[in-house]
Chain A
Amino acid sequence: MTIHLSIMLWAPAALALAGALIPGGRTVSRALAGVGTLIALGYAITLVADYKSGGGLQYVTDRMWIRELGIHYKLGVDGLNLFLILLTSVLFTATTLWSLSSERAREGQYWLQLGLAHSFVLGSLMAQDLALFVAFFDLMLIPFFFLSLGWGGGRRDERIAAITKLVIYTLVGSLLMLTAAIALAVLSASQSGNDLSFAFTDLQKVTLTKGSQEWIFLCFAAAFLVKMPSFPFHGWMPDGYKAMPMPVLAVFSGVLSKVAAYGFLRIVVPLLPDAAVHFQTLMLLIALASVLYGSVMAFTTTNTRLILGYSSLAQLGFIVLGIFSLTEQGAQGAILQSVNHGLVVAPAFFLAGAAAVRSGGSEDLRDMGGIAFRAPVLTTIFLIVAMANLAIPGSSNFVGEFLILLGVFNAKLAIACIAFTGVALASVYTLRLFIRAMHNRVGQDVTSRDVSLGDAVVLVPLVLCILGLALYPQLALKKGEQTVKGSVAAARAMTHPPKTAAAAQNGSVLNTVKTVPAGTPVPATGGTP
Chain B
Amino acid sequence: MHTALLTLAASTTKVKGPHIDWAGLSPLLAILGGIVVVLMAGLLRPRFAREQLVPGLTLVSLGAALGLTIWQLDDNKSLVAGALRLDGLSTTLTCLFLAAGIGTTLLSWRAMAPRESAHGEFFAMLLTSISGMIVLTWAQDTISLFLGLELLSIPLYVLCATEMRRATSLEAGLKYLIVGSVGSATLLYGLALIYGATGSTGYAETAAAFSTHSLSTDTLALTGIALVVVGLCFKCSVAPFHQWTPDVYEGSPTPVTAFMAVATKAAAFGVFLRFFDTALIDAQGTWGPALAALAAITIIVGNVGALGQSSLKRMLAYSSVAQAGYMLAGVVVSTSLGVRATVFYLAAYLLMNLAAFGVVIARERETGRGDDISAVAGIGASRPLLAWPLTISMLALAGVPATAGFIGKFQLIRATVDGHYAWLGIVIVIGSMISLGYYLRVIAAVWTGDAVESAQVATGLPALAGGSPDAEVTGPAAGPAWEVTLVAVVFGAAIVVFGVIPQPLFDFVARAGSAFSNLI
Chain A interface (Cβ < 8 Å from any Cβ of B): 66-69, 106, 131, 134-136, 138-139, 142, 145-146, 149-150, 156, 159-160, 163-164, 167-168, 171-172, 175-176, 178-179, 182-183, 186-187, 190, 196
Establish whether residues A139 and B401, one from each chain, have CB atoms under 8 Å apart when the complex forms.
yes
From B418, B436, B448, A186 is in contact (CB under 8 Å) with: B418
Closest 3 CB pairs of A and B: A135-B401, A68-B506, A175-B429
Bound: A26/B426 CA distance, A: 45
Q: With A134-B401, A135-B401 as given contacts, are A179 and B425 in contact (CB-CB < 8 Å)?
A: yes
State in angstroms the CA–CA spacing of A150 and B380 once bound together. 10
A-contacting 9-mer, from B53-61, B161-169, B319-327, B402-410: B402-410
Is B411 at the interface (CB under 8 A from chain A)? Answer: yes
Q: B402 contacts A135, CB within 8 Å?
A: yes
Stretch of B17-25, B140-148, B240-248, B439-447 with 4 or more beta carbons under 8 angstroms from chain A: B439-447
Given A131-B410, A182-B414, A182-B425, do A156 and B448 touch, yes or no (CB 8 Å)? Answer: yes
- Contacting A138 at CB < 8 Å: which of B400, B407, B413, B448? B400
B268 vs chain A, min Cβ distance (A): 25
User: Which chain A positions have C-beta within 8 A of B414?
Assistant: 69, 182, 186, 196
Contact with A along B419-438 (1 / 0, CB 8 A): 00010011011001100110
Closest to B398 in A: A171
Chain A residues with CB under 8 A of B400: 138-139, 142
* Cα distance, A131 to B381, chains bound together (Å): 34
Which residues in A have their C-beta under 8 angstroms from that of B443? 145, 149
Q: Given A66-B503, A179-B425, is A168 in contact with B401 using a C-beta cutoff of 8 Å? A: no
Chain B residue with the shortest CB-CB distance to A215: B422
Give the size range of B's interface with the partner. 20 to 34
Chain A residues in 8 Å Cβ range of B432: 171, 175
Residue numbers in B under 8 Å from A146 (CB-CB): 447
Shortest distance between the CB of B340 and any CB in chain A (Å):
8
Residues of B within 8 A of A171 (CB): 432-433, 436
Residue B417 at the chain A interface, CB threshold 8 Å: yes
Q: What's the nearest-Cβ distance from chain B to residue A179, in Å? A: 5
A167 surroundings in chain B (CB, below 8 A): 436, 440
Q: Which of B411, B425, B440 contacts A183 (CB 8 A)?
A: B425
* Alpha-carbon distance between A179 and B441 when the two chains are bound, in angstroms: 25
Q: Which one of B395, B402, B407, B418 contacts A66 once the chains associate, using CB atoms below 8 Å?
A: B407
CA distance A146 to B443 in the complex (A): 9
B288 within 8 A of A: no
Interface majority SS (helix, strand, loop, mixed), chain A: helix
Q: Is the CB of B440 within 8 A of A150?
A: no
Q: Which residues of A contact B447 (CB under 8 A)?
A: 146, 149-150
Nearest neighbor of A219 in chain B, beta-carbon distance: B426
Contacts A167-B436, A183-B422, A186-B418 given; does A178 touch B444 at CB 8 Å: no
Shortest beta-carbon distance from A192 to chain B in Å = 15
Tell me if B370 counts as interface (CB < 8 A to partner A): no
Task: Tell me the bound Cα distance from A150 to B432 in angstroms.
Answer: 24
Q: A66-B407, A139-B400, A167-B436 are in contact. Are A186 and B417 (CB under 8 A)?
A: yes
The complex places the Cα of A190 from the Cα of B420 at a distance, in Å, of 12
From known contacts A66-B407, A68-B503, A68-B506, infer whether A179 and B413 are also in contact, taking CB-CB under 8 Å: yes
Does B476 lie at the interface of the complex (its beta carbon under 8 Å from any beta carbon of A)? no
Whether B406 lies near A149 (C-beta < 8 A) is no
Bound complex: CA A518 to CA B506 (Å):
44
Contact check: which of B417, B440, B444, B506 meets A182 at CB < 8 Å? B417
A68-B502, A182-B410, A182-B425 as given contacts; A160 in contact with B444, CB under 8 Å: yes
Contacts of B506 in A (CB 8 A): 66-69
Complex Cα gap A243–B286 (Å): 51
A138 touches B401 (CB 8 A): yes
Of the candidates A139, A150, A178, the one whose C-beta lies within 8 Å of that of B413 is A178
Q: In the complex, which residues of chain A have a beta carbon less than 8 angstroms from the beta carbon of B88?
A: none
Query: Chain A residues with Cβ under 8 A from B425's Cβ?
Result: 179, 182-183
Q: How far is the CB of A455 from chain B (nearest CB, A)?
A: 30
B448 touches A164 (CB 8 A): no
Give the distance in Å from the alpha carbon of A334 to the alpha carbon of B422 in the complex.
Answer: 34
**Which residues on the A side are within 8 Å of B406 (C-beta)?**
135, 138
Report how far A159 CA is from B440 CA in the complex, Å: 13
Q: Given A175-B433, A182-B410, answer yes or no on A149-B448 (Cβ-Cβ < 8 Å).
A: yes
Q: A172-B433, A179-B425, A182-B425 are in contact. Are A164 and B399 (CB under 8 A)?
A: no
Smallest distance from the beta carbon of B299 to chain A beta carbons, Å?
A: 13
Known: A139-B400, A179-B422. 20 other contacts (CB 8 A): A66-B502, A68-B506, A135-B402, A138-B400, A138-B406, A142-B395, A142-B400, A145-B440, A149-B443, A171-B433, A172-B433, A176-B429, A178-B410, A179-B413, A179-B417, A182-B425, A186-B417, A187-B417, A190-B418, A196-B414
Flag B480-511 by CB within 8 Å of A: 1 or 0 each: 00000000000000000000001100100010
A-B contact pairs, 23 of them (CB 8 A): A68-B411, A68-B510, A131-B410, A135-B406, A138-B401, A139-B402, A142-B395, A149-B447, A160-B444, A164-B440, A164-B441, A164-B444, A175-B433, A176-B426, A178-B409, A178-B413, A182-B417, A183-B417, A183-B425, A186-B417, A186-B418, A187-B417, A196-B414
Distance to closest chain B CB from A64 (angstroms): 9
User: Which residues B462-476 have CB closer than 8 A to chain A?
Assistant: none
Contacts of A178 in B (CB 8 A): 409-410, 413, 429
